[in-house]
Amino acid sequence: METNEQKATINLAGLLPQRAGDTITLIEAIGILWSKKFFIAAFMVVGALIGCLVMNWIRPEFTSDAMLQIDIRGNKATRAMGEMGALLDMTSPADAEIELVKSRSVLAYVVEEEHLRFNAIPVGKMDRLLHREGRMDIDELDIPEIARRDRWTATVTGANSYAVITPEGAKLVEAEVGETVRAPYAGDTLVMRVRLIRAAVGQEFVLQQLKPLAAIRSLARKLSVSEKGKQTGILAVSLKHRYADRSATILNAIANTYVRHNVEKRSAEAEKTLEFLEKQLPGVKAKLDTAEKILADYRHKIGSVDMTGETQVHLQKEVDLQKQLLKLQQEYQEATRLFKDEHPAVRTIAKQQDKLKGELSKLKASAAKMPLTQQEVMRLQEDVQVNNAIYNTMLNNIQQLRVVRAGEVGNVRVVDYAMVEDRPSKPKKLNILICCVAASFMVAVLLVFLMRMLHNGVRSTTEVEKATSISVFAKIPERRGKVMKARRRNLVPLVVSQPEDPASEAFRSLLTSVDFTVPSQTHPVIMVSGLIPGVGKSFVSSNLAALHATSGKRTLLIDADMRRGVHRSSSKMGLAEVLGGLCEFGVAVATSDIENLFVISAGHTKLSPSELLRGENFRSMLDEARKQFDVIIVDTPPMSMVTDAELIYPAADFSLFVLHYGKHSMDEISEAMTKMKRFGEKPKAFVMNHCERETGRYGYGYGYGYYGYYSKKK
């Protein structure tokens, strides 16, 4: 049956190897992170500090908002024109109005009106971090063209005074708030007027004069316009600015300017329509006069003509139909401007036109049955009445447009003006802090698994034993802290200084395993070596020697690393001198602070250590040591660096190879053991050092080594 842990198994692709035994469970991944909790916590603290710096570095920003309403039904001009107004309706959808609010024609006026081309930027990093920056508002600034790109500054000299500093660092002029100052510079004149100063004496500002287009673009980036809902005609306008009062003032100026432009546009529409109608009016009047004259001349020519009641009704119907047809023609023109010919509204109007034209044709056909004199009189009277209706409609429209032109208010109004905000909208301090801490946490987690990938060697003792058929006698836990590192450098045995430490218990387990394997009656020589430097072989050898000594055995620790010896002794002579024949064995043996523990240091030699170890003096020395000591421990150089360990291996009774947890590949371990087999089959075992506790796997939280376990004292 599949266990829950197996179900939770995940593979961190790219971070962990793709071999059996290295698939990591979710619980183990959490355990890896937990083992690096202080590293991750340190990163998160750094992230929090960075977040604090960022949120204090960002200058506060205030957002003001206003609301505009668009009347999409049209303006007074089009409504006043009645039937002809449909031809002149200029209503704009919300999307078009949004672009108009952000147009250069509106923003350019505001830039000049609110003096947005002139900036005074405060200087001082500490003042910015502590939010102590001052403020200077400039109404007028004209820097000489020759030096406009250079750094001009203004320094506050008093509560209401300032000094202008040239790019060369010289004081050009000093002035008061509200005073327009003109100072000569490089054959030109600097003009400047400051409206407001709120800054401490000594505060420095960088003066900036923008080009009109740059100022307009800067304002447009800070402006946001959107429609609330769909087809509501309500526009939400907001503006971001460093200062709350300026944000509200500038936004209100934009709203008022936009409304004024809208009114001017609407008035211009009415003006153009009025101008057009006034130009057309004389022609319409001339047509009416001509029609009346022709009718009068015809009546004078033929004399009095009696119009029957039926003829008069017929005439009135034709005139009414002509008026209706004229109205439909206007509606059709407006509909085709807005819609395609296939649109239902366009088709409906076209059908109505066809119907009226059909009725008009029937009337004309019935009129053809009347006497010719009555037909002609009726036609002339129809022309007079139609032209008279057009003329009167045009007169009425002209009169109404003149009234509208004087009282046009546009189709836009301000619903809500901007008010001064008391809380900045930026920076979002909590969001910044959370993002920085979260980012630092993710970076720390990534680094943890990246380090694991870079040190992605064998971590399982079972895997080592199966691959090499060599037992792992102990797992020495990782020791952290400056104190432990110092002790390792000085080789102070941990089993003596901290006997209750988990690592000390692991060494006792190692001692038990060694005693079971190598009988003490033989006065064994135990070789301790490592595959690579930095695995902690000297740390293991010194603690193992200390345990043997404290158990009552005379123990000799030999530092065979004659290139980089680390075991110190009180004797000036060492292994190199003994092997070189410069001193006797007993002279090189020195006592230590631990009873029964004796040390032979590496010594000093100009000869090759490998040549010294090949000689018979080394085996003779070991034979002499067996006579005087119960246990001899030889600390050799790393196997991957030199051949010293291979030369010592045949002379040893038992060998311990120290592995660094997570640093060696299985191939490296197998290759090293194969190399040692060439020098004979000797009893050997592994010690895995620097082991990390990983949740979900057996480690030193349960037991250390193969033959012992450790239980924490409560």
CA nearest neighbour of 684 among 640, 642, 641, 636? 636
Please give the Cα distance from 116 to 140 (Å, whole number). 10
Side chain identity at 329, as an amino acid letter? Q
Q: What number of helices (H) and strands (E) belong to the chain?
A: 24, 22
> Do 485 and 442 have their domain in common?
no
Report H helices in 408-481. Answer: 429-454, 461-468
Q: Could you tell me if residue 75 is inside a domain?
A: yes
Map residue 175 onto helix, strand or coil. strand
Cβ contacts of 362 within 8 Å, gap of 6 or more? none
State the distance between the two ends of the chain, measured CA to CA, in whole angstroms: 37
> Do 395 and 510 have their domain in common?
no
Please give the Cα distance from 601 to 617 (Å, whole number). 16
> Do 193 and 243 have their domain in common?
no
> Do 256 and 325 have their domain in common?
yes
Please give the Cα distance from 39 to 48 (Å, whole number). 14
CA nearest neighbour of 192 among 158, 250, 157, 153? 153
Q: Cis peptide before 427, with omega less than 30 degrees from 0?
A: yes
Q: Could you tell me if residue 91 is inside a domain?
A: yes
Side chain identity at 551, as an amino acid letter? S
Number of Cβ within a 10 Å radius of residue 268: 14
> Do 577 and 656 have their domain in common?
yes
Report H helices in 565-662. Answer: 575-579, 585-588, 609-614, 616-628, 644-648
Please give the Cα distance from 642 to 108 (Å, whole number). 80
CA nearest neighbour of 515 among 705, 283, 242, 674? 705
* Strand 654-660 with 684-691, pairing: parallel
Please give the Cα distance from 611 to 644 (Å, whole number). 9
Q: CA separation (Å) from 55 to 294, 433, 617?
A: 89, 8, 72
Side chain identity at 339, as an amino acid letter? F
Q: Could you tell me if residue 436 is inside a domain?
A: yes
- Locus of tokens 């109205």: 327
Q: pLDDT tens digit string along 311-321? A: 666 667 777 77
Report H helices in 368-460. Answer: 372-407, 429-454
The number of residues in the chain equals 714
Q: Could you tell me if residue 555 is inside a domain?
A: yes
> Do 296 and 334 have their domain in common?
yes
Cβ contacts of 310 within 8 Å, gap of 6 or more? none
> Do 635 and 660 have their domain in common?
yes
Residue 531, judged by CB atoms within 10 A of its CB (0-12, 13-18, 19+), counts as: buried
Q: Which residues of the chain have pLDDT under 70?
A: 1-23, 72-93, 268-271, 303-315, 330, 334, 337-338, 365-375, 377-378, 401, 403-410, 455, 480-492, 520-521, 565, 567-571, 693-714
- Locus of tokens 């340190």: 42
Question: Which residue segment(s) compose the domain that 434 sits in?
Answer: 4-58+427-453
Domain total of the chain: 4
- Locus of tokens 């056909």: 365
Please give the Cα distance from 215 to 240 (Å, whole number). 14
Please give the Cα distance from 282 to 287 (Å, whole number). 9
Please give the Cα distance from 423 to 247 (Å, whole number). 12
> Do 23 and 72 have their domain in common?
no
Phi/psi for 281 (5° steps) reads: -60, -45
CATH number at residue 656: 3.40.50.300
Please give the Cα distance from 637 to 646 (Å, whole number). 10
β-partners of residue 529 are: 657
> How far from the centroid of its chain's Cα atoms is residue 607's Cα?
62
pLDDT at 254: 95
> Do 298 and 415 have their domain in common?
yes
> Do 614 and 518 have their domain in common?
yes
DSSP per-residue codes, 270-337: HHHHHHHHHHHHHHHHHHHHHHHHHHHHHHHHH---PPPHHHHHHHHHHHHHHHHHHHHHHHHHHHHH
Q: Could you tell me if residue 697 is inside a domain?
A: no
Statement: the pTM of the whole predicted model exceeds 0.95: no
Number of Cβ within a 10 Å radius of residue 695: 17
Q: Could you tell me if residue 461 is inside a domain?
A: no
CB of 636 closer than 8 Å to CB of 532: no
Q: pLDDT tens digit string along 578-635? A: 888 888 988 889 988 899 999 998 888 777 888 888 888 889 999 999 999 999 999 9
> Do 287 and 350 have their domain in common?
yes
Q: Could you tell me if residue 649 is inside a domain?
A: yes
Q: Could you tell me if residue 216 is inside a domain?
A: no
CB of 417 closer than 8 Å to CB of 252: yes
> Do 397 and 480 have their domain in common?
no
